[in-house]
Amino acid sequence: MKNLALVAYLDIKESLRARWFYVYAFVFGGLMGLFFISGITDSVVMGFTGLSRLLLVFIQVTIIILPIFILITTVKSISSDRESNVLEYMLSFPISLKEYYWGKLLGRFATVFFPVIVALFVGVAWGVFKGGDMPWAMITLYSALIFSICSVFLGIAFLISTMVKSHDVALGLSFTVWILLLAFIDIALIGLMMQNRVSDELILAIAMLNPLEAFRIGAIALFDPELTVIGPVAYYLLDSLGHTFLMLYAVLYPIFLGVLFALFGYTIFKKRDIL
Amino acid sequence: MNIVEARNVTKSFMGVRVLDDVTLDIALGERVAMMGPNGAGKTTLVRAVLGFYHLDGGTIRVEGCDPVKERVKVLENIGFIPQMPPPVKLSLSELLTFVHRSTGAEKERIIEQSEAMELDLKGHMDKPFFKLSGGMKQKLLIAIALAKRSRLLVFDEPTANLDPKARERFYRLLDSLDYEHSSIFITHRLEEVEGLVNRKIYMDLGKVVEDEKI
């Protein structure tokens, strides 16, 4: 596995020069700047003030932006490498497919995870500078949640890249997965719930299988341990799962899914024609 | 000793048979010109030798190893130059690190080979590979392939981006290789590699239709 670190390192170096990386870093850095300018740390909404409010807004925006950025940039770079024969050349060197695949994944993970974490820490530093307390528990949980959301969407992106060879189809599929997880599943489940055809427990179980939903619940649970903002469903979730399990689930389930998707992608990569 | 052994190799894409029961051996020391019209199956055969494709039927062995199952072992002894230099985004320094760490080829040797092709790398080490001119890219790919000192050299139209002088230098470099090796040149024009090869294979519609020693 001597080449795994080499592939990861070179992927990071390559990404740091790529235009998408600058846009990505600018979006998250810019978000923080926007929050400072708009005075989010100074405002009070529904009892949330200062740093808590800043982090809450940041995490809500992250739910929308992070998945689509990871999906699009990852499938785009892998499929364009294949179409432009970069993959053909790089894999004509004695590197195992395992080293190449997992090295690329590790490199890509570093480049999508760190800008968001850096933006988070810049926000916290600003909040502390403005007189807030250092919210260690919140920072730890948010870092863990961002880690887990990066894992699951990177896993999905690598799976799509190995399944689909066409650049356009891969991009289309990425958009579909994103919009499905972000909104369509919830809309469909709300419809089912209103019709009373399926048991509520089943609907909630399906909703919680959505990694974005798990992330969302985890993020809310830290500010609002009773989950009052999500209404009566909160009683069911907290009674049946408990607060601790819910938090563990929100962090670990997306990581588990991400690893599963990535492993599935690797199996396809190994078993199918590379080009 | 055969360096490549292909037996009844068959490969289809979307129902079209691109390699149709191809059987051929390439012995150590043989230098083969592989010719044929577009779509004849030349590049597919070479890619199968490099382990990029799972065959529908038949077997390929490179020095006795399966290119798919033992790809690292097989590729340790293959130097490959693609038809078009790919737009690799690594800088030259990173690309040379990648080649050195993955194959053991010394960077100094690559620089030497580049200089023999009249390509000065030293002033361009931080430049991304894809920003070099077509000729410079091709020269560097040639230098890398030769610096590996592989027992099998695979060239897919290697001189397509080279001017006549650079072609001459490339031929001279190949002539000066001081170790036993085999090479495959995919080409449309035999006259381009005539002095370098001792065997020609003509493919059409996925089959070997002509195979003769020169």
Residues of A in contact with B84 (CB under 8 A): 85
pLDDT tens for each residue of B193-204: 777 888 999 999
The total number of structural domains in chain B stands at: 1
Point out the least confidently predicted range of A111-120, A177-186, B76-85.
Answer: A177-186
Residue B121, in any domain of the structure? no
Residue B98, in any domain of the structure? no
Which residues pair with residue B25 across a beta bridge? B5
> Is the CB of residue B90 less than 8 Å away from at least one CB of chain A?
yes
The residue range of the domain holding A165 is 2-271
- Helix (H, G, I), strand (E, B), or coil: what is residue B27? strand
- Quote the minimal CA–CA distance from A154 to chain B in Å: 21
How many CA atoms within 13 Å lie on the side-chain side of B155?
30
- Quote the minimal CA–CA distance from A78 to chain B in Å: 12
B89–A93 C-beta distance less than 8 A: no
> Is the CB of residue A34 less than 8 Å away from at least one CB of chain B?
no
- Quote the minimal CA–CA distance from B39 to chain A in Å: 16
Residue B111, in any domain of the structure? no
d(CA A193, CA B17) in angstroms, rounded, equals 52
Q: What is the CATH number of the domain that holds B12?
A: 3.40.50.300
Residues of A in contact with B54 (CB under 8 A): 271-273
- Number of neighbours of residue B87 by Cβ within 10 angstroms: 16
B52–A95 C-beta distance less than 8 A: no
Residue B57: per-residue pLDDT: 93
- Classify residue A251 by burial, with Cβ atoms within 10 Å: 0-12, 13-18, 19+: buried
Q: What is the mean pLDDT of chain B?
A: 90
A94–B76 C-beta distance less than 8 A: yes
Mean pLDDT of A50-54: 69
CA B165 to chain centroid, in Å, comes to 21
> Is the CB of residue A2 less than 8 Å away from at least one CB of chain B?
yes
What distance, in Å, lies between the first and last C-alpha atoms of chain A?
23
The residue range of the domain holding B159 is 2-90+151-213
Evaluate if residue A128 carries a pLDDT over 90.
no
B52–A89 C-beta distance less than 8 A: no
How many CA atoms within 13 Å lie on the side-chain side of B1?
11
Evaluate if residue A40 carries a pLDDT over 70.
no
Residue A253: per-residue pLDDT: 94
- Helix (H, G, I), strand (E, B), or coil: what is residue B178? coil
Burial A255-272 (b: 16+ CB within 10 A, else e): bbbbeebbebbbeebeee
> Is the CB of residue B50 less than 8 Å away from at least one CB of chain A?
yes
Residue B160, in any domain of the structure? yes
A275–B88 C-beta distance less than 8 A: no
Evaluate if residue A45 carries a pLDDT over 70.
no
Q: What residue in B sits closest to A270 (Cα-Cα)? A: B68
B50–A18 C-beta distance less than 8 A: no
- Quote the minimal CA–CA distance from B103 to chain A in Å: 7
- Quote the minimal CA–CA distance from A14 to chain B in Å: 6
pLDDT above 90 as % of chain A? 31
Point out the least confidently predicted range of A125-139, A260-274, B77-91.
Answer: A125-139
Evaluate if residue A131 carries a pLDDT over 90.
no
pLDDT tens for each residue of B148-162: 889 999 998 877 777
B102–A93 C-beta distance less than 8 A: yes
From the list A65, A72, A73, A55, the residue with the least C-alpha distance to A27 is A65
DSSP conformation class of A235: H
- Three-class HEC string of B53-112: CCCCEEEEEECCECCCCCHHHHHCCEEEECCCCCCCCCEHHHHHHHHHHHHCCCHHHHHH
Residue B48, in any domain of the structure? yes
> Is the CB of residue B102 less than 8 Å away from at least one CB of chain A?
yes
pLDDT bucket at A137, cuts 50 / 70 / 90: confident
B94–A10 C-beta distance less than 8 A: yes
Vertex B208: Cα angle to B205 and B214 (nearest 5): 135
Residue B155, in any domain of the structure? yes
What distance, in Å, lies between the first and last C-alpha atoms of chain B?
19
From the list B144, B153, B186, the residue with the least C-alpha distance to B45 is B186
The total number of structural domains in chain A stands at: 1
Residues of A in contact with B74 (CB under 8 A): 94
> Is the CB of residue B58 less than 8 Å away from at least one CB of chain A?
no
Cβ B79 vs Cβ B20: under 8 Å: no
A17–B103 C-beta distance less than 8 A: no
pLDDT bucket at B5, cuts 50 / 70 / 90: very high
What's the one-letter identity of residue A4?
Answer: L
The pTM of this model reads 0.89
